Chains A and B, each alone.
Chain A
């Protein structure tokens, strides 16, 4: 089970901000999202969307622990 967090416009696309999704790896998680919500899956595929696992940015597939936190981060802009 991973705690999945969506930020910015991704939360608008999905209609949720935080959800528990059973997944053993990032690839597994993406597969589950693709099956359940193709529009969200499509939005997550954008190259500018970055992924953090337990608050560390990752670029490849990684295994997820039962209490992992996965965050999908669209382009960031402060100030």
Chain B
């Protein structure tokens, strides 16, 4: 499931709810990404999505992850709009019978979200605003999954 939200969310609460009422899940992995202050260079991060398109594109990769790692369940929460440092931007949780699949699927989904998911990210600080685009590192991270 994918949830885009303009409002702050509590990743601990999201994880708690995701863990509830499971009889056959042996492993849940989660990742929480927070907005960084970059030593005072960033006052606010702004994330733009393309409503409808963004959810559908992420949904295709969620389905990929479910098939590839035989997941039982996935939850992705992604903030949009202005986000101050310290608040959660993204939360991914994966449920599987065993830990390896859950951990790898979480890593796989984050690599996709960082470099391919339809979001546009702008950092504003004392020196003005700049758009953040995927780094070579993000692309290398994603490429790991193309050979295995």
A76/B120 in contact, CB under 8 A: yes
> Number of residue pairs across A and B with beta carbons under 8 Å?
63
Separation of A74 and B115 alpha carbons in the complex (Å) = 12
Contacts of A74 in B (CB 8 A): 120, 131, 133
Question: For A7, A48, A78, which residue has the most chain B Cβ atoms within 10 angstroms?
Answer: A78
B118/A79 in contact, CB under 8 A: no
Separation of A69 and B118 alpha carbons in the complex (Å) = 16
Q: Count of chain A residues with Cβ under 8 Å from any Cβ of B?
A: 16
Separation of A79 and B52 alpha carbons in the complex (Å) = 18
Query: Is A19 located at the chain interface by the 8 A CB criterion?
Result: no
- Tell me what chain A mostly uses at the interface: helix, strand, loop, or mixed: loop
B109: nearest chain-A partner, CB-CB: A79
Question: For B113, B118, B121, B134, which residue has the most chain A Cβ atoms within 10 angstroms?
Answer: B118
Separation of A52 and B52 alpha carbons in the complex (Å) = 12
Q: Count of chain B residues with Cβ under 8 Å from any Cβ of A?
A: 26
Which residues of chain B from 31 to 55 have a CB within 8 Å of any chain A CB?
A: 33, 47-48, 50, 52-53
Query: Is B89 located at the chain interface by the 8 A CB criterion?
Result: yes
Pick from A5, A71, A77: contact of B133, CB below 8 A: A77
Separation of A75 and B122 alpha carbons in the complex (Å) = 12
Pick from B47, B53, B121: contact of A71, CB below 8 A: B53
Query: Is A55 located at the chain interface by the 8 A CB criterion?
Result: yes
Which 6 pairs from chain A and chain B are nearest by CB?
A: A8-B120, A78-B119, A78-B117, A75-B133, A79-B114, A9-B131
> A19: shortest Cβ distance to chain B, in Å?
16
A78/B113 in contact, CB under 8 A: yes
Which residues of chain B from 93 to 148 have a CB within 8 Å of any chain A CB?
A: 110, 113-122, 131-134, 138
B120/A77 in contact, CB under 8 A: yes
A77/B114 in contact, CB under 8 A: yes
20 new A-B contacts at CB < 8 Å, known A5-B50, A77-B117, A78-B119: A7-B48, A7-B50, A7-B120, A8-B48, A8-B120, A8-B131, A12-B131, A55-B50, A74-B120, A75-B134, A76-B120, A77-B115, A77-B134, A77-B138, A78-B113, A78-B117, A79-B110, A79-B113, A79-B117, A79-B119
